[in-house]
Chain A
Amino acid sequence: MLTLETRHTYNSLLEPILQNQSESPALIYLETGQPPIEITRNEFRQNIIDYAAALQAHNIQKSDLVIIAHTQSLDSIYCFWGVMLAGGIPSMFPTLTEKLDPHVYMSNLSELVSFSDVKAILTTDDFAPQLVEAVDCAVIASSALKIQENAQFEPVNTDTNSIALLQHSSGTTGLQKGVALSHHAILNQLASYSDSLELSQDDVIVSWLPLYHDMGLIAGFLLPLIQGIPLVLMSPFDWIAHPAMLLNAIDTYNGTLCWLPNFAYNHMARRVRKRDTENLSLATMRAFINCSEPVRHDSHQKFLERFADNGVSDSQFAVSYAMAENTFAVTQTPIGQYPKLEIVDRIQLEENRHATPVADGMTVVSCGKTIDKTQVKVVDDSDNTLQARQIGEILVKSDCMLTEYHHRLDLQPFVDGWYRTGDMGYLADGEVYVIGRKKDLIINAGKNVYPQDIEAIVNTIDGIHKGRCVVFGVPDEREGTELIAVVAEIDSPEIDEKDLKKTIRQTIATQTTVAASFVTLVDGKWLIKTSSGKIARDANRQKWLQEHL
Chain B
Amino acid sequence: MDESTVRERIRSYIVRELIHDSGYDLMDDEGIITGSLMDSFALAELGVFVEEEFDVYIPDPDLTVEKMDTLDLIVARVMRDLQ
Question: B40 touches which one: A240, A244, A519 (CB < 8 A)?
Answer: A240
Residue A270 interfacial (CB < 8 Å): yes
Q: Which residues of B from 22 to 52 have beta carbons under 8 Å from A?
A: 23-25, 33-41, 43-45, 47-48, 51
**Chain B residue with Cβ nearest A275:** B57
Total inter-chain residue pairs, C-beta < 8 Å: 70
> Are A242 and B57 in touch, CB under 8 angstroms?
no
Question: A99 touches which one: B21, B24, B36, B63 (CB < 8 A)?
Answer: B36
In the A-B complex, list the 5 residue pairs whose CB atoms are closest, starting with the nearest.
A509-B36, A33-B61, A271-B44, A241-B43, A242-B60
Q: A99-B33, A271-B48 are in contact. Are A244 and B60 (CB under 8 A)?
A: yes
> Are A32 and B51 in touch, CB under 8 angstroms?
no
Distance from A19 Cβ to chain B, minimum over Cβ atoms (Å): 38
Q: A271-B44, A271-B47 are in contact. Are A515 and B57 (CB under 8 A)?
A: no
> Are B60 and A270 in touch, CB under 8 angstroms?
no
Seen from chain B, the residues whose Cβ lies within 8 Å of a Cβ on chain A are 20-21, 23-25, 33-41, 43-45, 47-48, 51, 57, 60-61, 63-65
Chain B residues within 8 Å of A505, by CB? 36-37
Question: B44 touches which one: A33, A242, A506, A509 (CB < 8 A)?
Answer: A242
Residue A525 interfacial (CB < 8 Å): no
Chain A 496-516 per-residue mask, 1 if CB under 8 angstroms from chain B, else 0: 001001100110111000010
Chain A residues within 8 Å of B57, by CB? 273, 275
> Are A517 and B37 in touch, CB under 8 angstroms?
no
Most buried by B among A98, A498, A506: A98
Chain A residues within 8 Å of B65, by CB? 98, 241
Question: B25 touches which one: A241, A498, A509 (CB < 8 A)?
Answer: A498
A33 CA to B59 CA, complexed, in Å: 10
**Chain B residue with Cβ nearest A506:** B36
A273 CA to B39 CA, complexed, in Å: 19
> Are B51 and A273 in touch, CB under 8 angstroms?
yes
| B interface SS class | loop
Chain B residues within 8 Å of A241, by CB? 40, 43-44, 60, 63-65
**A: number of interface residues (CB 8 Å):** 30
14 CB contacts below 8 A, A to B, read A32-B61, A98-B65, A241-B40, A242-B44, A242-B60, A272-B48, A273-B51, A273-B57, A275-B51, A498-B25, A501-B21, A502-B35, A515-B36, A515-B38
Residue A245 interfacial (CB < 8 Å): yes
A241 CA to B35 CA, complexed, in Å: 17
Q: A241-B64, A519-B21 are in contact. Are A99 and B34 (CB under 8 A)?
A: yes
**Chain A residue with Cβ nearest B17:** A478
A107 CA to B44 CA, complexed, in Å: 32
A519 CA to B25 CA, complexed, in Å: 15
Chain B residues within 8 Å of A509, by CB? 36, 39
Residue A439 interfacial (CB < 8 Å): no
Distance from A446 Cβ to chain B, minimum over Cβ atoms (Å): 13
Residue A466 interfacial (CB < 8 Å): no
Seen from chain A, the residues whose Cβ lies within 8 Å of a Cβ on chain B are 32-33, 98-99, 237, 240-245, 267, 270-275, 498, 501-502, 505-506, 508-510, 515, 517-519
A112 CA to B19 CA, complexed, in Å: 34
Chain A residues within 8 Å of B35, by CB? 502, 506
Question: B60 touches which one: A245, A501, A515 (CB < 8 A)?
Answer: A245
Distance from B73 Cβ to chain A, minimum over Cβ atoms (Å): 14
A494 CA to B21 CA, complexed, in Å: 20
> Are A273 and B40 in touch, CB under 8 angstroms?
no
**Chain B residue with Cβ nearest A520:** B21
> Are B61 and A240 in touch, CB under 8 angstroms?
no
A242 CA to B60 CA, complexed, in Å: 6
A506 CA to B20 CA, complexed, in Å: 15
> Are B41 and A271 in touch, CB under 8 angstroms?
yes
Chain B residues within 8 Å of A515, by CB? 36, 38-39
Chain B residues within 8 Å of A518, by CB? 20
> Are A517 and B34 in touch, CB under 8 angstroms?
no
**Chain A residue with Cβ nearest B66:** A98
Most buried by B among A242, A498, A505: A242
Q: A98-B65, A510-B36 are in contact. Are A274 and B44 (CB under 8 A)?
A: no
Most buried by A among B25, B36, B51, B65: B36
Distance from A268 Cβ to chain B, minimum over Cβ atoms (Å): 9
Distance from A53 Cβ to chain B, minimum over Cβ atoms (Å): 37
**Chain A residue with Cβ nearest B68:** A241
